[in-house]
Amino acid sequence: MRLLLVALLLKLALIAAIASVLVRSVLFKRYLYKEERSLREKLIFVLYLTIPLAGGVGIRLLVKSFSMADLTVPGAMLIGLLAGQIAGLAGGAVIALPALWVHEWLSLPMALLAGWCGGLCRRVAPDYDEIWAFSPFIDLELWRWLRNRLDRPFRDWQALLFAVLILLTLAELELAHAFPRLLYAIRPVNAWGVAVVVFTTVLTVAIPIKIWNNSRIERQLDEQKRLLVQARLDALTSQINPHFLFNTLNSIASLIRLNPDRARRLIVQLSNILRRLLETHDNHVPLRHEVAFIQDYLAIELERFGPEKLRVTYDIDPQALDCLVPSMLLQPIVENSIRHGLSPKLQGGAIAVRAWQTDGQVRIEIKDDGVGYAPGAGAPLSGIGLANVRERLRVLYGAAARLDIESRVGEGTDVRIMLPKVAAIETASRPETFAAKPGGLT
């Protein structure tokens, strides 16, 4: 039993070493984190994994005392789980080739079955993020399992993957016991040994996923930082240009004599915009900061349109104001509404900004009654564009966030955002209200 435990620990160390070495390759990571891959990309991905795994089978054949190097079943399962059934079958076939050289004929069908099962689990997974969430430590979610899934365990994807791995390992042990010369497997001497071998197989699949998921999270954070920097630069380019500054300063100059208080407010609002765009921000800010920012932005745009052509209404749930949202989230959407929705409309129009929280989510809606666009024509982009906003939400929240656009020609455009609710630790000391603000905003 002690020798078995040592062998299994070495097996886990080997798969962790392989995963750690592979994740250092830029090319491997490029294909690893893709949800959909071309045939060429699948082939490269399979080669990256099958070369060390097939090499492990070869080492087991050459060095009899190093049998733990054989990772055929979990390796084929892992390839199918991350790349699909075709890749799983191809990877399993390559991994089993060294075993066929010594007439272990059952190694090939066993590897093919593992690769096919991995691809099947990938196909039935709710989304790609579910695969990266796989963990053998189910005790951390035991209460959720008992409460929600005990009556239907195989409808839960994580439980299904556990079951498949357990059945594959038990099938391998039984076949190796019945046909010892046709299939190799570590042979435990008692029930405890079988349990340890089964749990090791689960860990052999889970460990690479966890190692690669840590790198995936770092990659997503880097991508989010890049998108945020790009958002600030594009917003800076969009707002601080000669045309915008000329209109703003010209409006201020015309108000200095007639309405100095209004001119002073415009100067303050312009300085708020410049300060917000130029200073460093966190990735997330309270919703109240985003709403205050677009108020300053719209107050300046009001001088160009006039209060009779631009009407803005706010319906903000006070409880949602302290929820964290991505920085620079609302401004590009509001700008898009003005530039592509209201500017082409001679009589102007209205913009409505709504935000509320419900069922652990924050929902934001920005609606205009502009010219709209035809379904299927694609939403017009301005500044960082709606595409960049959607990408930032995907990187930050995955499937937990959503951005929907509904537009009708001649009627306007609705942009709806749904985010997971995250409360800010610290809130502004000065409460802000959005019922009314000078300059025609209501």
Checking if the pLDDT of 112 tops 90, the result is yes
User: Which amino acid does the sequence have at 437?
Assistant: K
Q: What is the per-residue pLDDT across 278-288, written as a single tens digit (0 to 9) for each?
A: 665 567 888 99
> Is the CB of residue 401 less than 8 Å from the CB of residue 418?
yes
Specify whether 320 is located in the same domain as 190: no
Specify whether 208 is located in the same domain as 312: no
* Predicted pLDDT at 292: 87
Checking if the pLDDT of 264 tops 90, the result is no
In a domain, 41, yes or no: yes
Specify whether 170 is located in the same domain as 22: yes
Q: Average pLDDT for residues 302-329, to the nearest whole number?
A: 84
* Predicted pLDDT at 432: 44
In a domain, 148, yes or no: yes
In a domain, 42, yes or no: yes
Residue-range definition of the domain harbouring residue 320: 281-420
> Is the CB of residue 364 less than 8 Å from the CB of residue 419?
yes
Length of the chain: 442
Specify whether 201 is located in the same domain as 287: no
Checking if the pLDDT of 143 tops 80, the result is no
Checking if the pLDDT of 299 tops 50, the result is yes
Specify whether 304 is located in the same domain as 195: no
In a domain, 343, yes or no: yes
**Boundary of a domain, candidates 192, 215, 238:** 215
User: Which amino acid does the sequence have at 80?
Assistant: G
Specify whether 293 is located in the same domain as 401: yes
Specify whether 209 is located in the same domain as 286: no
**pLDDT above 70 coverage of the chain, percent:** 82
Specify whether 34 is located in the same domain as 130: yes
In a domain, 270, yes or no: no
Q: How confident is the model at residue 181 (pLDDT cuts 50, 70, 90)?
A: confident
In a domain, 251, yes or no: no
> Is the CB of residue 157 less than 8 Å from the CB of residue 126?
yes
Distance CA 278, CA 266 (A): 18
Checking if the pLDDT of 139 tops 60, the result is no
User: Which amino acid does the sequence have at 429?
Assistant: S
Checking if the pLDDT of 342 tops 80, the result is yes
Element (H, E) at 131: helix 128-132
CA atoms within 13 A on the CB side of 372: 15
**Domain CATH for 306:** 3.30.565.10
Apex 412 CA angle, 406 and 415, nearest 5? 40
Q: What is the per-residue pLDDT across 43-71, written as a single tens digit (0 to 9) for each?
A: 988 999 999 999 988 888 888 767 778 88
- The string over 297-314, giving b where at least 16 C-beta atoms fall within 10 Å of a residue's C-beta and e elsewhere, is bbbbbbbbbeeebbbbeb
Specify whether 152 is located in the same domain as 72: yes
Distance CA 79, CA 77 (A): 6
**Boundary of a domain, candidates 177, 193, 215:** 215
| Radius of gyration of the chain, Cα coordinates, nearest whole angstrom | 29
Residue bearing the bigger pLDDT, 432 or 310: 310
Checking if the pLDDT of 179 tops 60, the result is yes
- Two tokens, residue 45: 């991905």
Q: Output the DSSP codes for 255-309.
A: HHHH-HHHHHHHHHHHHHHHHHHHS---SEEEHHHHHHHHHHHHHHHHHHH-TTT
> Is the CB of residue 91 less than 8 Å from the CB of residue 49?
yes
Specify whether 204 is located in the same domain as 285: no
The strand pair at 412-420 and 284-286 is best described as unpaired
Specify whether 307 is located in the same domain as 204: no
* Predicted pLDDT at 442: 39
Domain count of the chain? 2
Reduced to 3 states, what is the DSSP secondary structure of residue 74?
A: helix
Apex 18 CA angle, 14 and 22, nearest 5? 170
**pLDDT above 90 coverage of the chain, percent:** 17
Highest mean pLDDT among 85-99, 151-165, 231-245: 85-99
Crossing angle of the two packed helices 85-101 and 107-124, in degrees rounded to 10 = 160
In a domain, 130, yes or no: yes
Q: What is the mean pLDDT of the chain?
A: 80
Pick from 402, 359, 364: which is nearest to 127 by CA? 402
Pick from 77, 73, 165: which is nearest to 119 by CA? 77
Element (H, E) at 114: helix 107-124
* Predicted pLDDT at 109: 93
Specify whether 196 is located in the same domain as 294: no
Q: What is the per-residue pLDDT across 203-261, written as a single tens digit (0 to 9) for each?
A: 899 999 999 988 888 888 887 777 776 666 565 445 444 555 676 777 788 778 878 88
In a domain, 257, yes or no: no
Q: How confident is the model at residue 363 (pLDDT cuts 50, 70, 90)?
A: very high
Checking if the pLDDT of 338 tops 60, the result is yes
**Boundary of a domain, candidates 161, 196, 215:** 215
The pTM assigned to this predicted structure is: 0.56
